[in-house]
Homo-oligomer: A and B are copies of this chain.
Amino acid sequence: MATAEPRFTRNQPDVRRRKLIEATAQCLAEFGHAGTSVRAVAAKAKVSPGLVAHHFQGIDDLIVATYDHVGRRVAEALGEAMEAAPKDAESQLRAFIEASFKPPVLDRDLLAIWLSFWSLVRRDPGVRKVHKKVYTDYRCRLEALIADIARARRFKIDAHLAALGFTAMLDGLWLELCLDPTIFSREDALRIAHAWVDDLIAGGFRALALRPR
């Protein structure tokens, strides 16, 4: 008698975890937070529902892992764009902007993941910690670039505050653009962000240098 087809294939825990994470990302994109259950994820990954509980504490844990995973991918995409650009701070900043407003960063599916994650931040201290780290890392890269530009051009600025403002603006533009791309265009967002850099270089935001931290 011929050897029967294996009814399932065993995976290393980390491999299986990654597959479940990717299935979760697809579920969030396709069905939203409400439609993303243990069973939905298991179906998408073509495994039994019980397996999810075996690798993760629950659906919330899975969403956090998904955020962590795609967060890393986003950071990589931004990092690669910067590596491909000239090494001066202004070019780096502009490369960062360009990468922020095109796939895979500008992506409706990504927003669905972000929204789910944000809704967990309030109740779970562990989630809050992950958010803090991701957000702070992200902002620190911009802070360093802004400080570089100010140093090269020999003007004073509170790079910390400036980076907070710039980050907030990028986030706000990204959010609204993902929510509804018909209100304004990707090109609008690019012009606005680049204009902010123009203004920074021209010595704008002088008020942010009055009380350095």
- A residues near B (Cβ < 8 Å) are 32-34, 108, 111-112, 115-116, 118-123, 128, 131-132, 135-136, 161-162, 164-165, 167-173, 175-176, 179-180, 182-184, 188-189, 191-196, 198-199, 202, 204-208, 211
Contact A192 B173 (CB under 8 A): no
Contacts of A108 in B (CB 8 A): 122
Contact B179 A208 (CB under 8 A): no
Contacts of A168 in B (CB 8 A): 168-173, 175-176, 192
Q: Chain A: interface secondary structure?
A: helix
* Cβ distance A187 to chain B, nearest Cβ, rounded Å: 10
Contact for A169 among B131, B165, B202, CB less than 8 A: B165
Known: A169-B169, A206-B198, A207-B198. Contact between A33 and B119, CB under 8 A? yes
Q: Report Cα–Cα, A92/B176, bound state, in Å.
A: 24
Known: A194-B207, A198-B206, A208-B192. Contact between A171 and B164, CB under 8 A? no
* Cβ distance A41 to chain B, nearest Cβ, rounded Å: 15
Copies in the complex: 2
Contact B173 A165 (CB under 8 A): yes
Contacts of A179 in B (CB 8 A): 118, 121-122, 131
Known: A118-B115, A206-B198. Contact between A131 and B161, CB under 8 A? no
Contact B112 A119 (CB under 8 A): yes
Q: Report Cα–Cα, A189/B170, bound state, in Å.
A: 15
Nearest B residue to A162 via CB reads: B192
Contacts of A207 in B (CB 8 A): 191, 194-195, 198-199
